[in-house]
Amino acid sequence: MFDFELDRIVAWIRDGGYTSVALQLPEGLRIRSSEITDYLFERTGVDITIIGCPCYGACDLFDYHGLTDALVHFGHSPIPSQGDDPNVLYIESRSDVELADSVGDSLDFLPERIGLLATVQYLGLIPAVTDILEAKGRTVLVGVGDSRICHPGQVLGCNCSAAESVSDDVDAFLFIGEGDFHPLAAAFGVVKTVAVLNPVTSEVRDMSEVRDRILRRRFGAIQGARDAETFLVIVCSKIGQNRSSEADRMVELIRSHGKRAFKAIMEEVTPMSLMAYRVDAYVNTACPRIAMDDSARYDRPMLTIPELEIALGEREWGDYVFDQIRP
């Protein structure tokens, strides 16, 4: 179960004297929005609006100004580099799952020095996993990320600086979380084994195979874009995905190779939103995972920033780097 801290939200609404509040939840938590609304309305009487737009991260923070007095954003931690708005409350929706006793046995294969990582929901398990590993004689390190990262050990899908900060001092990483999305960021970003512990199922697996499969696809996309003559450079209008200056740099780079480049700003990058453009390839400066994980949905090659540099011969394939969003 995830903790929605409903009584803390009630107290925050009352203390702030708000009369209207917007609720922003990612897709996976939106099913709880009606019961959350009921709970808050019954106790505060404020006007509550559920934001129906897609939400993938705190990078997506809804601009509530002019609509409500305040915003409650669920499922993600703040991104410190985006600044602090006192009228926005982040509910990280931490999990209360407890580790099975058998978990220790499945971690026996780990080497001597381990870096621990997690999604925000499972950061609370870092001390327990540390104890398990230290009892087995392992050395455990928890890195501190840059100012896009709120908590030690936390990884975003576009930023694994917490892993980078201890990468030289560990032999492998253990990631606590569900799914591939977040551990893949670490697997792309550091040249170390990344194993994943699913705290719900107790399954432990290595990310190498998934990472290598995606990297092979990325190689195909880069090759497919080498002969492209026209590029659409995508800029995202979302606060935490906007990399306008990088987009301008890409436009200049493409033109310096005698090719044509157009720049388009958009809120959502989808196959539909790109259909109308007559170009040979896309360069995505928005969330880098759109190109890396969803490329099969697009009818033309979509490259990240470092991938464009490779396609244009400015960077070697051997020097491939994960396109992280830095503060």
Decide if residue 73 touches ligand SF4 (CB under 6 A): no
Q: Binding string to ligand SF4 for residues 84 to 123, with x set by CB under 6 A, is what?
A: ----------------------------------------
> Site for ligand SF4 (CB under 6 A): which residue of 5, 12, 57, 281?
57
Strands in 139-141's sheet, in edge-to-edge order, are 139-141, 113-118, 172-176, 193-197, 204-206
Give long-range contacts, CB 8 A cutoff, 24+ apart: 102-107: 102/202, 103/129, 103/132, 103/197, 103/199, 103/202, 104/132, 104/135, 104/136, 106/197, 106/202, 106/204, 107/132, 107/133, 107/136, 107/174, 107/197, 107/204
Of 44 and 153, nearer to ligand SF4 (C-beta) is 153
Does the footprint of ligand SF4 cover residue 287 (CB under 6 A)? yes
- 75 lines the binding site for ligand SF4 (CB under 6 A): no
213 to 252, contacts with ligand SF4 by CB under 6 A? 240-241
Closest CB to ligand SF4 among residues 241, 295: 241
Q: How many residues bind ligand SF4 (CB under 6 A)?
A: 11
- Using CB under 6 A as the binding rule, whether residue 186 contacts ligand SF4 is answered as no
What letter represents residue 141's amino acid? L
Q: Among 5-13, 87-95, 116-124, 155-163, which window interacts with ligand SF4 (CB under 6 A)?
A: 155-163
Q: Which of 56, 64, 90, 175 binds ligand SF4 (CB under 6 A)?
A: 56
Please, which residue, 56 or 62, has the CB nearer to ligand SF4? Answer: 56
Pick from 36, 88, 114, 156: which binds ligand SF4 (CB under 6 A)?
Answer: 156
Report the residue number, 48 or 233, with the smaller CB distance to ligand SF4. 233
Amino acid at 50: I
Nearer to ligand SF4, 221 or 325 (CB): 325
83, with CB counted inside 10 A (0-12, 13-18, 19+), is exposed
Q: At its nearest, how many Å lie between ligand SF4 and the CB of residue 239?
A: 10
| Residue 157 lies near ligand SF4 (rule: CB under 6 A) | yes
Segment near ligand SF4 (CB under 6 A); pick from 85-93, 150-158, 168-176, 206-214? 150-158
Return all residues near 287 (Cβ < 8 A) that are at least 6 apart.
56, 57, 59, 157, 158, 236, 241, 269, 325
CA distance 43 to 231: 53
